[in-house]
Structure 1
Amino acid sequence: MTPRQRLLCALRAEAVDRVPVIIPGGMMAGSLYALLQQKSVSYPDLHTRATVMAGYARLLQETCELDNYGVPFCMTIEAEDFGARIDLGDPLKEPRVAHYPAATLDAVLAREPVPCRRHEITLEAIYRLAGSTVPVIGNVIGPISLLTSLADPAIVYRALATDGMKIAATLDHLTRHIAFFAEEQIKAGAEVIVLADPGASGEIIGGEYFKTLAAPAINQIIRAVRGRGIPAVLHICGNIMALAGALAPIPWDALSVDSVVSLKKLKPFFPGRALMGNVSTHLLAVSGHDRITRAAIHAAEVSAILAPACGLSTTTLPENIRSMVRAAQGAARKLTIRPAADG
């Protein structure tokens, strides 16, 4: 099977020759220091030039033997669209918001997004990558995480408890732009969209606020993506077991989970639906082939797609990512996965 066939079949719950292995981009950026140094990829050009962004995506895929291209390599583009000042960092430190553009929720509501230069560069990079046997994964930030990139999180979390209606209106405002960016990525050639919302973890905002405020906004974005005929992957950080009831009605095609989650315990909550992950990023950063392979084989017993459990450390070695691929190949032999027909 080609990487494209493998990933799309896995997302459709169809037979595959082995579990696909991906680094989606976005929160799981894959901007590996060793790879940047080895090939002299200019920084911060992989965030600011479409040719370099696309070229690094190809380099990462080829070196690590992944089943995807994934761009962009950060979670800050939508925040920049809303006027946030971004520190692009360095090869060891990924981009981050350097200054919140709003002091209140009303100020967030008053801001109209204007696509920044990196917004357009991402779309151009997707266009350059699209059309091969390797699928392009586009990435968008989740609504809670975007809100806490535009205003001090303390203001946001206080308002969750005191002004739910204002939070809901603000999230709706942000959600429209996130869905718009996702749809633009699809038009440019993205075949899968990953929505990552680490700020919506139940351990941060609580299960009730997730159910009543975060989940409806996430649902709106996922439905917009799937309405374009494109599969959507949702990532929520932390232990999501208590959120299963709120996550079930959202029509994601795969749910990406953190390493603290037991996939075997989570699986019964979502019968017939794909789970993704959840190889520890700490393990990927500090361990060697044997431990990573064992963890990845264990994850592949349940996961439809193998991937890092959360944001990758920039110091992760490419050979450690390849260990996940070797694990997927070994799991296929162990589990006697049968290949699907080409198509």
Structure 2
Amino acid sequence: MTSLERILSVFQGKTPDRIPVVPIIGQTAARLNGMRISEELRSPETLADSRIACRERFQYDGVYVSAETWVTAEAMGAPVQYSEDAPVQGTTPLLADKKQIDRLIPADPACDGRLPLLVKALEIAVRRAQDQFAVIGNFDQSPFSLACALRGINQVMLDVYDNPVFIKKLLDICTETVIRYARAMAEAGAHILNTGDSPAMLLGPENYQKFALPYQQQVFDELQPYDIPTTLHICGNTTKLLDLMSQSHAHSLELDAGVDLVAARSRLSEHITIIGNIDPVGVLLHGRPQDVSASVKSLCEHASQLGRFILASGCTLAPDTPPENIQAMVTAAQSAQTM
């Protein structure tokens, strides 16, 4: 099987020749390739080359085309700060004054911010992959997370209680931006589409149902005609939210290190693919290669109980993750028994 066939077979409910393995490598790729983060983002070609070079070095099954979590917010006008060798960060909230929402419009992935760069990089990566490995388009962020970036997370959490009409208006605009960006990635040829909604973790189940889930569903429903596997990621221990996350209409859930995957499977539909969840900090960043191998082996021993399963890091790898630990993760996964 090619790496792409291996991953897609899991989404299709088939048995691959071995467990697919995908360390979630975002801007860590720049460091691994001896360049600054700002250098990796200087052109679509550089970004695609960097991600593919990491895949060729470690031989895992899929590459993420992504930046940090401010791409869509910046495209909608949020002020951000650039650094030479650190991820872009937001500065002051664009919507500190809620009256500014009357000027807010959805971003256009053809011309706004860095969206065109990311879409073009994905297109290049897909072309160079030649269907040998999976190219994962990361259209961060999901609507609620984008709203938090534009308004400020603390203010949004207050607005949920004090001004829900305003928040829902903001979420409608954010949802349109997310859909446009995701569609652009789908049309650029992405094999898999991925998004994150980590601030939604703070809502709790009741408010998650009101302010996160309906907008996630809108996004994933709009992507159904493309017939591309979709993935939802929320950082942290999302055990209490699993039932709701499974209703997002995503085909798979990326689960972080705090979630017991076997217990999670018992609460999820057999049609949902589980992706995860080697600890990206305690094991992959701070552990030794033998610690990584042991963690991978332990998880792979439960593969038959997990059903549709792709081995991955629980979240994006830190920039200083030792390359020998990435290699240990991939090697241990590739030597595990077939699912």
Asked if TM exceeds 0.5, the reply is yes
2:124 to 121, 128, 131: 128
Q: For 1:1-343, what aligned pairs fall within 5 Å after superposition?
A: 1-24=1-24, 29-32=26-29, 34-37=31-34, 41=35, 43-91=37-85, 93-108=86-101, 110-112=103-105, 113-114=107-108, 115-131=111-127, 132=130, 133-140=132-139, 141-201=141-201, 204-272=202-270, 273-282=272-281, 283-300=283-300, 301-302=302-303, 304-331=309-336, 333=337, 336-337=338-339
Structure 1: which 5+ runs fail to align? 338-343
Please give the per-residue CA displacement for 1:265-288, whole angstroms capped at 9, x wherever unaligned: 111111312111011011111111
Whole-Å Cα distance in 1 between the matches of residues 262 and 196 of structure 2? 22
Q: Does structure 2 conserve the Cα–Cα contact (< 8 Å) formed by 1:103 and 1:151?
A: yes
Structure 1 residue 83: Cα displacement: 0.6
Residues 208 and 288 of structure 1: is their aligned pair in 2 closer, same or farther, counting only changes over 3 Å? Answer: same
Residues 111 and 287 of structure 1: is their aligned pair in 2 closer, same or farther, counting only changes over 3 Å? Answer: same
Whole-Å Cα distance in 2 between the matches of residues 295 and 229 of structure 1? 33
Q: Does structure 2 conserve the Cα–Cα contact (< 8 Å) formed by 1:145 and 1:197?
A: yes
Whole-Å Cα distance in 2 between the matches of residues 156 and 166 of structure 1? 10
Structure 1 residue 81: Cα displacement: 0.9
Please give the per-residue CA displacement for 1:96-120, whole angstroms capped at 9, x wherever unaligned: 2133222144424531135434211
SS at structure 2 position matched to 1:116 = coil
Please give the per-residue CA displacement for 1:117-163, whole angstroms capped at 9, x wherever unaligned: 42111111111111411221101211121111111212100011122
Q: Which moved more, 1:71-80 or 1:261-270?
A: 71-80
Residues 261 and 29 of structure 1: is their aligned pair in 2 closer, same or farther, counting only changes over 3 Å? Answer: same
SS at structure 2 position matched to 1:70 = strand
Q: Does structure 1 conserve the Cα–Cα contact (< 8 Å) formed by 2:21 and 2:334?
A: no
SS at structure 1 position matched to 2:222 = helix
Q: Does structure 2 conserve the Cα–Cα contact (< 8 Å) formed by 1:12 and 1:253?
A: no
Whole-Å Cα distance in 1 between the matches of residues 172 and 218 of structure 2? 9
Q: Does structure 2 conserve the Cα–Cα contact (< 8 Å) formed by 1:276 and 1:307?
A: yes
Amino acid at match of 1:122: L
Amino acid at match of 1:5: E
Please give the per-residue CA displacement for 1:24-70, whole angstroms capped at 9, x wherever unaligned: 5xxx5242464132xxx354131231111111011111122121121
Q: Does structure 1 conserve the Cα–Cα contact (< 8 Å) formed by 2:48 and 2:125?
A: yes
Q: Does structure 1 conserve the Cα–Cα contact (< 8 Å) formed by 2:81 and 2:88?
A: yes
Please give the per-residue CA displacement for 1:57-94, whole angstroms capped at 9, x wherever unaligned: 11111122121121122222101111112223333x22
Whole-Å Cα distance in 2 between the matches of residues 83 and 34 of structure 1? 28
Amino acid at match of 2:56: E
Residues 85 and 16 of structure 1: is their aligned pair in 2 closer, same or farther, counting only changes over 3 Å? Answer: same
Q: Does structure 1 conserve the Cα–Cα contact (< 8 Å) formed by 2:79 and 2:91?
A: yes
Structure 2: which 5+ runs fail to align? none
Whole-Å Cα distance in 1 between the matches of residues 288 and 87 of structure 2? 24
SS at structure 2 position matched to 1:103 = coil
Residues 66 and 157 of structure 1: is their aligned pair in 2 closer, same or farther, counting only changes over 3 Å? Answer: same
Residues 214 and 117 of structure 1: is their aligned pair in 2 closer, same or farther, counting only changes over 3 Å? Answer: closer
Residues 248 and 34 of structure 1: is their aligned pair in 2 closer, same or farther, counting only changes over 3 Å? Answer: closer
Whole-Å Cα distance in 1 between the matches of residues 212 and 170 of structure 2? 11
SS at structure 1 position matched to 2:19 = coil
TM (norm. structure 2) is 0.90
SS at structure 2 position matched to 1:194 = strand
Amino acid at match of 1:103: A
Please give the per-residue CA displacement for 1:236-262, whole angstroms capped at 9, x wherever unaligned: 122222212322322211111111111
Q: Does structure 2 conserve the Cα–Cα contact (< 8 Å) formed by 1:64 and 1:319?
A: no
Aligned CA RMSD, in angstroms, stands at 1.8
TM (norm. structure 1) is 0.89
Whole-Å Cα distance in 1 between the matches of residues 61 and 150 of structure 2? 33
SS at structure 2 position matched to 1:281 = coil
**Percent identity of paired positions between Structure 1 and Structure 2:** 24
